[in-house]
Structure 1
């Protein structure tokens, strides 16, 4: 093989290696983003169930128009799913839901305040 052909083979090998590294990095970012989206969706489900808890009378194992004694046990989704683990705390008409994803670096916190029948949600993302 000529010297030119050997240089061409080395160049192609380097290009393929760099492309492979970029592809792997892109896939990892995509997986992390998908996990973050899934955790956010689970938190929205928790908020929906928490809203029902808030309006349910205390005699029916609800909050009686308060989040004071709410816990993750009051939510049917439970404290974990395939997407991550969750914690719920509340006070008055404010509810905080924290979700830690299965991928490293995925953590979301939703602070929701019930105004009338609707939540006003503030999202916090930590990396």
Structure 2
């Protein structure tokens, strides 16, 4: 082979290597963002369950206009997206979801959702 052909082969290998690294980085970033969205979706689902509990009469297993007694169902306390905890007060519930996918610095997204009898608010998830 001539020098020009060897140079083209080396150049081709370098370009393919760079493309692979860029692809891996894009996949990692996409995976982290998908996990963030999943944590928010799970938080909203749990918030809806908390409001259902609040509005349901005691006779039907609800809170009868109080959140006291609400717990996260065991099968939803940990999902493929993260782990969830709830701090329950009589008129509010604060649900915290901790994502499972970590960035290169070892930090994962945490989502916090506050539930009241008439509203559900979710803060923008942050890395912890």
Partner residue of 1:51? 51
For the structure 1 residues 92 and 57, does the alpha-carbon distance in structure 2 shift closer, same or farther, using more than 3 Å as the test?
A: same
* Structure 1 residues 90-121: Cα deviation after superposition (integer angstroms, max 9, x where no partner): 22322211112231233323231426x33233
Partner residue of 2:15? 15
The unaligned stretches of length 5 or more in structure 2 are none
Across the two proteins, how many residue pairs are aligned to each other? 124
Secondary structure of 1:67's match? Answer: coil
> 8 Å contact 1:39–1:83 — kept in the other structure?
yes
CA distance in 1, matches of 2:83, 2:24: 26
Q: Does 1:111 align with 2:113?
A: yes
Partner residue of 1:87? 85
After TM superposition, the score normalised by the length of structure 2 is 0.80
Q: Does 1:122 align with 2:120?
A: no
Secondary structure of 1:102's match? Answer: strand
Partner residue of 2:41? 41
Secondary structure of 1:17's match? Answer: helix
Structure showing greater relative contact order (alpha-carbon pairs closer than 8 Å, 6 or more residues apart):
2
Partner residue of 1:100? 98
What RMSD in Å do the two structures reach over aligned CA positions? 2.2
